[in-house]
Structure 1
Amino acid sequence: MKNEDAPSIGAMFKFVFGTVLKRRWLLVLNVLALTIITMLQFVLPQVEKYIIDKVIPEKNFSLLVWTIIILLVTAALLAIFNFLSTYYMTVMSQNSITELRNQLFGQIIRQDTAFFESSKTGDLMTRLTSDINNLQSLISANMLSVVGNMFTFVGVLGLIYYINWQMALAVSVTFPLMFLVYRIFRTRIRDAFQRARTTQGLMSNQMQQTLTQIDLIKSYTSENQESTRFGKVADANRKNMISAGFNQAVFNPSIDTINYVGIAIILFMGAIFIMRGDLTVGALVAYISYVAMVQAPIQSLSRLLNQVQQANVSFGRIQQITKAEPVVIDAKDAVEFPGLHQTVNLQDVTFSYHDSQILHGVTFDIPAGKTTALVGRSGSGKTTITRMLTRLYDIDSGEIDYDGISISNIALHSLRANVAIVSQEVYMIDGTIRDNVRYGRLNASDDDIWEVLKLADLDSFVHSIPDGLDTEVGERGMRLSGGQKQRVAIARALLKDAPLIILDEATASLDNESEKAIQHALDNLLTNRTSLVIAHRLSTVQNADQIVVLQDGKVVERGTHQSLLDAKGAYAQLYNAQFE
Structure 2
Amino acid sequence: MSGHHRTIAVAVSLTLAGAGLGLAQPLVAKRAVDGAPGSTGVWLLLGVLVLLFLAEAVVNACGRYLLERMGERVVLGLRRTMVDRLLRLRVGVYDDHRVGDLVSRVTTDTTLVRDVMSQGVVDLLTGALTAVGALALMLWLDPVLVLLVALTVAVAAAVVATLLRGIRAASENAQSAVGALAADLERALGAIRLVRANRAEQREAQRVGTQVDAACAAGVRTAKLASVMAPAVELAVQGSFLLVFVIGGMRVAGHASSPGDLVAFLLYASYLVVPLSSMFQAVGLLQKGMGSLQRIEEIRALPVEQDVPRAAVHPVAAGSALEFCDVHFGYSERPVLRGVSFTVAPRSTVALVGRSGAGKSTVFALAARFYEPARGAVLLGGQPAGARSLDDWRSRIALVDQNVHVMHGTLWENLTYAAPDADPAEVERVVELANLGEVVRRLPDGLHSCAGERGGALSAGERQRVAIARALLARPSLLLLDEPTSHLDPLNEALQAEVVANVAAECAVLMIAHRLSTVRHADEIVVLDDGQVVAAGDHDGLLETCPLYRRLAVPGTATGRPPGKLGELRL
**Alignment TM-score, normalising by the size of structure 1:** 0.91
Q: CA separation in 1, counterparts of 2:314 and 2:211?
A: 48
Asked whether 1:465 is paired with 2:433, we answer no
Asked whether 1:507 is paired with 2:488, we answer no
SS state of the match for residue 330, structure 2?
strand
The one of 30, 37, 41 aligned to 1:58: 37
Structure 1: state its 5+ residue gaps: 1-16
Call closer, same or farther: CA 1:480–1:390 in 2, change over 3 Å: same
Structure 2 letter corresponding to 1:49: K
Call closer, same or farther: CA 1:458–1:336 in 2, change over 3 Å: farther
Q: Does the 8 Å contact 1:350/1:395 carry over to 2?
A: yes
Q: Does the 8 Å contact 1:336/1:415 carry over to 2?
A: no
Q: CA deviation at 1:514?
A: 3.7
Match of 2:233 in 1: 255
Structure 1 letter corresponding to 2:543: L
Match of 1:30 in 2: 11
Q: CA separation in 1, counterparts of 2:129 and 2:314?
A: 60
Structure 2 letter corresponding to 1:36: A
Q: Does the 8 Å contact 1:113/1:393 carry over to 2?
A: yes
The one of 563, 570, 579 aligned to 2:541: 563
Q: Does the 8 Å contact 1:361/1:554 carry over to 2?
A: yes
The one of 493, 501, 526 aligned to 1:548: 526
Asked whether 1:246 is paired with 2:209, we answer no
SS state of the match for residue 303, structure 2?
coil
Q: CA deviation at 1:176?
A: 2.4
SS state of the match for residue 405, structure 2?
coil
The one of 286, 295, 306 aligned to 1:329: 306
Match of 1:574 in 2: 552
Q: Which shifted more, 437-446 or 403-412? A: 403-412
Asked whether 1:119 is paired with 2:97, we answer yes
The one of 240, 243, 246 aligned to 1:268: 246
Match of 2:158 in 1: 180
Structure 1 letter corresponding to 2:463: K
Asked whether 1:359 is paired with 2:337, we answer yes
SS state of the match for residue 138, structure 1?
helix
Q: Which shifted more, 288-297 or 86-95? A: 288-297
Q: CA separation in 2, counterparts of 1:404 and 1:570?
A: 31
Q: CA separation in 2, counterparts of 1:334 and 1:188?
A: 54
Q: CA deviation at 1:335?
A: 5.4
The one of 202, 214, 234 aligned to 2:192: 214
Q: Does the 8 Å contact 2:128/2:279 carry over to 1?
A: no
Q: CA separation in 1, counterparts of 2:370 and 2:130?
A: 57
Alignment of 1:238-387 (within 5 A): 238-294=216-272, 297-326=275-304, 328-330=305-307, 333=310, 338=315, 342-343=319-320, 344-387=322-365
Q: CA separation in 1, counterparts of 2:385 and 2:181?
A: 41
Asked whether 1:452 is paired with 2:426, we answer no
Structure 1 letter corresponding to 2:37: E
Q: CA deviation at 1:214?
A: 0.6
Structure 1 letter corresponding to 2:427: I
Q: CA separation in 1, counterparts of 2:313 and 2:447?
A: 34
- C-alpha root-mean-square deviation of aligned residues, in Å? 2.1
Q: CA separation in 1, counterparts of 2:144 and 2:38?
A: 32
Q: Does the 8 Å contact 2:185/2:208 carry over to 1?
A: yes
**Cα deviation code 1:546-569 (max 9, x no counterpart):** 111011111111111111112252
Asked whether 1:430 is paired with 2:411, we answer no
**Cα deviation code 1:288-311 (max 9, x no counterpart):** 222344565543221112211111
Call closer, same or farther: CA 1:251–1:334 in 2, change over 3 Å: farther
Asked whether 1:77 is paired with 2:55, we answer yes
Q: CA separation in 2, counterparts of 1:100 and 1:459?
A: 44
Q: CA separation in 2, counterparts of 1:504 and 1:111?
A: 23
Q: Does the 8 Å contact 1:490/1:522 carry over to 2?
A: no
Q: CA deviation at 1:202?
A: 1.0
Q: CA separation in 2, counterparts of 1:539 and 1:346?
A: 26
**Cα deviation code 1:439-494 (max 9, x no counterpart):** 00111122221222122221233234331221110110000112221111111111
Q: CA deviation at 1:395?
A: 0.9
Q: CA separation in 1, counterparts of 2:439 and 2:274?
A: 69
SS state of the match for residue 229, structure 1?
helix
Q: Does the 8 Å contact 2:396/2:476 carry over to 1?
A: yes
Q: Does the 8 Å contact 2:401/2:482 carry over to 1?
A: yes
Q: CA deviation at 1:337?
A: 9.5
Q: CA separation in 1, counterparts of 2:492 and 2:132?
A: 80
Q: Does the 8 Å contact 1:340/1:402 carry over to 2?
A: no
Q: CA separation in 2, counterparts of 1:149 and 1:568?
A: 81
Q: CA separation in 2, counterparts of 1:69 and 1:268?
A: 30
The one of 139, 149, 152 aligned to 1:171: 149
**Cα deviation code 1:253-300 (max 9, x no counterpart):** 111111122112212220111111122222212112223445655432
Q: CA separation in 2, counterparts of 1:441 and 1:118?
A: 31
Call closer, same or farther: CA 1:470–1:336 in 2, change over 3 Å: farther
Call closer, same or farther: CA 1:389–1:43 in 2, change over 3 Å: same
Q: Which shifted more, 312-321 or 457-466? A: 457-466
Call closer, same or farther: CA 1:142–1:82 in 2, change over 3 Å: farther
Q: CA deviation at 1:145?
A: 4.8
**What is the identity percentage for the equivalent residue pairs of Structure 1 and Structure 2?**
28
Q: Which shifted more, 521-530 or 534-543? A: 521-530
Q: Does the 8 Å contact 1:370/1:528 carry over to 2?
A: no
Q: CA separation in 2, counterparts of 1:336 and 1:75?
A: 72
Q: CA separation in 2, counterparts of 1:511 and 1:111?
A: 38
Q: Does the 8 Å contact 2:19/2:129 carry over to 1?
A: no
Alignment of 1:485-504 (within 5 A): 485-504=463-482
Call closer, same or farther: CA 1:568–1:127 in 2, change over 3 Å: closer
SS state of the match for residue 409, structure 2?
coil
Match of 2:22 in 1: 41
Match of 1:97 in 2: 75
Match of 1:12 in 2: none
Q: CA deviation at 1:231?
A: 1.7
Structure 2 letter corresponding to 1:432: T
Q: CA separation in 2, counterparts of 1:252 and 1:84?
A: 28
Q: CA separation in 2, counterparts of 1:419 and 1:335?
A: 19
**Alignment TM-score, normalising by the size of structure 2:** 0.92
Q: CA deviation at 1:338?
A: 4.7
Call closer, same or farther: CA 1:457–1:511 in 2, change over 3 Å: closer
Call closer, same or farther: CA 1:142–1:348 in 2, change over 3 Å: closer
**Cα deviation code 1:36-71 (max 9, x no counterpart):** 2101111221232233222xx4233x4454333322
Q: Which shifted more, 172-181 or 387-396? A: 172-181
Q: CA separation in 1, counterparts of 2:535 and 2:144?
A: 97
Match of 1:14 in 2: none
Call closer, same or farther: CA 1:145–1:66 in 2, change over 3 Å: same
